[in-house]
């Protein structure tokens, strides 16, 4: 193919590309809009990871998990944390060697080649769109529930989607007018959320131990045997799918060699402890059998049993904050995924254009926020949320494979600041665990997720397989 053909097909002329590991400590926006400014520190990185993950594990799953595994559901969440760490460690090593926007896409494309990279990049972009829409609808539900609990009637269920749409526009605009704005909101929201949860779980722990309130009735820790502990772990693992968003925004992280591993591993550990303590408190308050009857509102009832109506409002506010942090972090991550695949011309390169005034990828943000708002208006996002989990698990498995391949090939440019101990074992177990989790998902989600990956592969073959930046791939 001639150079002119390449230019016409990809929309740009061929350019020289630095090695994947090349990065400045404080990258600034150029006239070509090629890089992002590093404006997120360690606290911001932790806020992205923790803020994305805190959600279903505390506000949806406790009643459901307790009904399946009893108090041993705490062990299910601990297993989920271990599996997440098996992926977070390889992702941390790759991120310190390639601290670029795109995270999993960038790692997979540089280690396994353009086609797997394109499939992961496009799939994760769409997966994050689905997840963000789910979070925004959750925000609408929690906002309506808080108002209803406080005695303010604004139309009940009819107000959920308008609230979700308005807040989606607000978050997209906030990200557009500067990454520091979005990071500041994330830090404050996650800080307040963690404060509420620590106070609530601290009181609940004292109650469970009989130091305050009434001692809880004794209950068998594993009432249904060991197997439900593992099947429940597969169910609740979706609660840990947020830590990789830290790698997706790696191009915005200051001092990536230090902050990326601390943010990814630290966020998994923080959230894992909170999840385990939540199950302990919840099953101690009611017993697993009664707790399971509350379903997805179990934690609201636990809070109500401790502190009455104010307690219910407190936990609903915490749920509201969790959806805000998840949606904000996901919009930021989605735009960076779009930015990364666009820079490699997997999709048209105009999507990586930068707003020089605010230092943000405004086209990528539109390609993140626009589809999200369309899905929110549609309203049916539950299945798409599990599809997002499916696509993330595929990416996680391939990240682990990417580490194994790149360690084997040992390219000259590969010089990570953090190296995984026993890397073949850790990455191998991470890949097996990630791919195994796919088998526990609903058939509908598996079919839709696989269809999206096939469509991404077809897009690559007929649009991007001969793009101008093909030389950056392995």
CATH number (domain holding residue 114): 1.20.1740.10
Residue 396, domain member (yes or no): yes
Residue 308, domain member (yes or no): yes
Is the pLDDT reported for residue 30 higher than 70?
A: no
With a CB cutoff of 8 Å and minimum separation 6, the contacts of 463 are: 9
pLDDT at 409: 92
Structural domain that includes position 219: 40-467
CB-CB contact of 425 with 311 (8 Å): no
Alpha-carbon distance of 423 to 172, in angstroms, equals 38
Tens digits of per-residue pLDDT, 228-283? 888 888 778 878 878 888 888 877 888 888 899 999 999 999 999 999 999 999 88
Residue 425, domain member (yes or no): yes
Most confident of 16-30, 103-117, 170-184, 453-467: 103-117
Longest dimension (CA), the chain: 79
Strand runs labelled E in 1-117: none
Two structure tokens written together for 289: 């059998």
Where does the pLDDT of residue 17 fall: very low under 50, low under 70, confident under 90, or very high at 90 and above? Answer: very low
Residue 13, domain member (yes or no): no
pLDDT at 143: 86
Residue 35, domain member (yes or no): no
Residue 24, domain member (yes or no): no
With a CB cutoff of 8 Å and minimum separation 6, the contacts of 24 are: 35, 38
DSSP 88-134: HHHHHHHHHHS--TTTHHHHHHHHH-HHHHHHHHHHHHHHHHHHHHH
Residue 20, domain member (yes or no): no
Alpha-carbon distance of 357 to 363, in angstroms, equals 14
Residue 2, domain member (yes or no): no
CA distances in angstroms from 80 to 96, 311, 330, listed in the order given = 24, 28, 21
Tens digits of per-residue pLDDT, 452-468? 999 999 999 888 776 54
Tens digits of per-residue pLDDT, 147-195? 888 777 666 667 888 989 999 999 998 888 877 778 888 889 999 999 9
Q: How many domains does the chain have?
A: 1
pTM of the model: 0.83
Could you tell me what percent of the chain has a pLDDT over 70?
Answer: 87
With a CB cutoff of 8 Å and minimum separation 6, the contacts of 367 are: 125, 335, 338, 351
Tens digits of per-residue pLDDT, 130-143? 888 888 888 888 88
Tens digits of per-residue pLDDT, 65-75? 888 888 999 99
CB-CB contact of 10 with 352 (8 Å): no
pLDDT at 214: 65
pLDDT at 29: 42
Alpha-carbon distance of 79 to 69, in angstroms, equals 13
Range of weakest confidence among 74-83, 147-156, 363-372, 439-448: 147-156
pLDDT at 118: 92
Coil, strand or helix: which one is 119? helix
pLDDT at 276: 93
């Amino acid at each position: 193919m001639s150079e002119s053909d390449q230019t016409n097909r990809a929309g740009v002329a061929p350019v020289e590309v630095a090695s994947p590991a090349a990065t400045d400590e404080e990258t600034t926006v150029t006239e070509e809009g090629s890089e992002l400014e590093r404006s997120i520190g360690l606290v911001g990185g932790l806020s992205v990871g923790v803020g994305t993950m805190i959600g279903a594990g505390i506000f949806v799953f406790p009643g459901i998990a307790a009904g399946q595994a009893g108090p041993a559901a705490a062990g299910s969440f601990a297993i989920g944390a271990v599996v997440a760490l098996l992926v977070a460690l390889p992702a941390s090593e790759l991120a310190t060697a390639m601290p670029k926007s795109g995270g999993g896409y960038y790692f997979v494309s540089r280690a396994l080649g353009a086609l797997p990279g394109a499939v992961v990049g496009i799939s994760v972009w769409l997966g994050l769109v689905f997840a963000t829409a789910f979070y925004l609808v959750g925000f609408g539900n929690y906002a309506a529930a808080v108002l209803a609990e406080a005695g303010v009637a604004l139309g009940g269920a009819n107000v959920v989607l308008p609230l979700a749409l308005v807040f989606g526009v607000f978050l997209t605009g906030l990200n557009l007018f500067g990454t520091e704005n979005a990071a500041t909101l994330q830090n404050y929201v996650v800080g307040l959320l963690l404060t509420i949860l620590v106070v609530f779980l601290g009181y609940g722990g004292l109650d469970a131990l009989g130091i305050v309130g009434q001692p809880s009735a004794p209950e068998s820790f594993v009432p249904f045997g060991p197997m439900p502990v593992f099947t429940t772990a597969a169910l609740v693992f979706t609660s840990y799918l947020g830590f990789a968003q830290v790698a997706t925004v790696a191009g915005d992280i200051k001092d990536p060699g230090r902050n990326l591993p601390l943010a990814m591993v630290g966020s998994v550990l923080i959230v894992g402890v909170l999840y385990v303590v939540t199950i302990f408190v919840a099953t101690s308050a009611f017993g697993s059998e009664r707790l399971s009857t509350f379903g997805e509102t179990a934690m609201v009832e636990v809070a109500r049993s401790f502190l009455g109506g104010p307690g219910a409002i407190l936990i609903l506010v915490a749920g509201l904050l969790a959806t805000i942090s998840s949606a904000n972090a996901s919009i930021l991550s989605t735009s960076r995924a779009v930015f990364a695949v666009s820079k490699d011309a997997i999709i048209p390169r105009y999507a990586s254009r930068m707003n020089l005034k605010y230092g943000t990828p405004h086209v990528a943000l539109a390609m993140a926020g626009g589809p999200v708002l369309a899905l929110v208006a549609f309203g049916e996002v539950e299945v798409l949320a599990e599809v997002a989990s499916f696509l993330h698990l595929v990416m996680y498995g391939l990240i682990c494979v990417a580490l194994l391949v790149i360690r084997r090939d040992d390219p000259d440019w590969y010089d990570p600041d953090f190296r995984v101990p026993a890397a073949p074992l850790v990455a191998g177990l991470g890949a097996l665990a990630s791919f195994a989790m796919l088998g526990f998902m609903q058939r509908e989600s598996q079919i839709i997720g696989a269809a999206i990956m096939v469509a991404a592969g077809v897009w690559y073959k007929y649009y991007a397989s001969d793009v101008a930046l093909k030389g950056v791939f392995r």
